[in-house]
Amino acid sequence: MRATVFYAPGDVRIENVPDPRIQQPTDVLARVTHACICGSDLWFYRGLTDFKPGWRTGHEWMGVVEEVGPEVRTIRKGDRVIAPFVTSDGTCEFCREGLYTSCVNVGFWGMENDGGQGEMVRCPFADGTLVALPPDVPNDDALLKSILPLTDVMGTGHHAAVSAGVRPGAVVAVVGDGAVGLCGVLAARRLGAGRIIVLGHQEARMDLARRFGATDIIAGRGEEAIGRVIEMTKGGADSVLECVGTSTSFNTALGICRPGRTVGFVGVPHWGEPLNARRLFFQNIRVHGGVAPVRAYIPELLKDVLAGRLDPSPVLDMTVNLDGVPDGYKAMDTRKAIKVMVRM
């Protein structure tokens, strides 16, 4: 089969790789129909994290099940499935609590495993990992595009909002204008936020933020932005969604959070500078969040997407086929695209 392979920073290629096969009785094989390129893929694409030449890529995908291991109980051949961005056994104490990302058998797509940016995938622990679409869901391109972000960015934005304790009527601030930040806006609105302030700097993204429910836009980060949010909220937001992962964005989140309230952080930490421990400590700001257990959120978010109440598909503002994946990386690297859909 063909799949995306990492060669070096700035260099991913589509190559022939071995076809996957069932290895464990709890595996399934699926043909990928849709995948994404993720903002977090840019970390290795830019050479900022260790990633070995030859490793495979892509952790967001949907597909159709083609072969099922003998111990798989709930997933069937022919099912259209949504894959969360990690695999999980579904039975350990953390999975039972909904914290699938801390599964004692947690696994990752890509690297030495099959990745979503390829034709086929072997999925371990299929029962604990995949969510099958109800059979009556129409095979509609627009609808499937609305479901695709549930594999990662919509679940992650929702995790930020849930972690930040967004309640009806709350004053919410979102740090970051990437796909996750934009999904955080959608999630905050869905949870009933009364006011949603977005800190970002690219005009097209801010337009989308407004469409998604943002009530106020603040350009940039840092001290000036902090001062403006503190002033407009008379002391800080009730819930802050940190959707970037740098120390600057995290400190901005701390700076605009109301004393005693919560920062929900989902940006993978790449903290080059010290955190503002003084504000964290002296204002009793709570920090919740981390990697999003999106598997736990897919059922409730899917219900809203299928009912037409939730549509994160506008974050997917560029579509490529498998051969176009390298161009997709380039477009995201240069911020020409918010997020790229790979339509096989």
When the beta carbons of 111 and 344 are compared against a second copy, the nearer one is 111
When the beta carbons of 116 and 264 are compared against a second copy, the nearer one is 264
**26-50: string of b/e by CB count within 10 Å (b at 16+)?**
bbbbbebbbbbbbbbbbbbbeeeee
Q: Which of residues 180-239 bind a second copy (CB under 8 A)?
A: none
Torsion of CA 38, 44, 45, 46, to 10 degrees: 120
When the beta carbons of 206 and 237 are compared against a second copy, the nearer one is 237
When the beta carbons of 208 and 243 are compared against a second copy, the nearer one is 243
Q: How far is the CB of 88 from a second copy (least distance, A)?
A: 12
- Can you read off the two tokens belonging to residue 90? 């579904």
Cα–Cα distances (Å) from 308 to 1, 15, 158, 185, 209, in that order, read 36, 38, 17, 17, 19
Query: By rule CB under 8 A, what count of residues binds a second copy?
Result: 28
Q: 202, exposed or middle or buried, with CB in 10 Å at 0-12, 13-18, 19+?
A: middle
Q: Which of residues 85-114 bind a second copy (CB under 8 A)?
A: 94, 97, 99, 101-102
When the beta carbons of 33 and 113 are compared against a second copy, the nearer one is 113
Q: How far is the CB of 177 from a second copy (least distance, A)?
A: 21
Q: How far is the CB of 7 from a second copy (least distance, A)?
A: 26
Q: How far is the CB of 169 from a second copy (least distance, A)?
A: 16
Q: How far is the CB of 273 from a second copy (least distance, A)?
A: 10
Q: How far is the CB of 204 from a second copy (least distance, A)?
A: 29
Q: Which of 291, 306, 318, 344 binds a second copy (CB under 8 A)?
A: 291
Q: How far is the CB of 286 from a second copy (least distance, A)?
A: 5
Pick the piece of the chain touching a second copy (CB under 8 A) from 165-173, 189-197, 219-227, 288-296: 288-296
**Angle of helix 222-232 versus helix 247-255 axis, rounded to 10:** 20
When the beta carbons of 142 and 281 are compared against a second copy, the nearer one is 281
Q: Which of residues 111-170 bind a second copy (CB under 8 A)?
A: none
Q: How far is the CB of 97 from a second copy (least distance, A)?
A: 6
Q: 249, exposed or middle or buried, with CB in 10 Å at 0-12, 13-18, 19+?
A: buried
- Can you read off the two tokens belonging to residue 107? 């696994």
When the beta carbons of 206 and 292 are compared against a second copy, the nearer one is 292
Residues 115 and 252: beta-carbon distance below 8 Å: no
When the beta carbons of 289 and 312 are compared against a second copy, the nearer one is 289
Q: Which of 31, 201, 288, 335 binds a second copy (CB under 8 A)?
A: 288
Please name the residues in contact with 317: beta carbons below 8 A apart, sequence gap of 6 or more. 337, 338, 339
Residues 64 and 80: beta-carbon distance below 8 Å: yes
- Can you read off the two tokens belonging to residue 226? 């902090």
Q: How far is the CB of 49 from a second copy (least distance, A)?
A: 12
Q: Which of 107, 194, 290, 324 binds a second copy (CB under 8 A)?
A: 290
| Single-letter amino acid code for the residue at 44 | F
Cα–Cα distances (Å) from 328 to 120, 302, 315, in that order, read 19, 26, 14
Residues 213 and 185: beta-carbon distance below 8 Å: yes
Q: Which of residues 228-287 bind a second copy (CB under 8 A)?
A: 259-260, 265, 268-269, 271, 274-275, 277-278, 280-287
User: 33: helix, coil or strand?
Assistant: strand
Nearest-5° Cα angle at 15, 43 to 294: 45
C-alpha 339/C-alpha 149 separation (Å) is 10
Name the residues that contact a second copy, by CB under 8 A: 94, 97, 99, 101-102, 259-260, 265, 268-269, 271, 274-275, 277-278, 280-291, 293
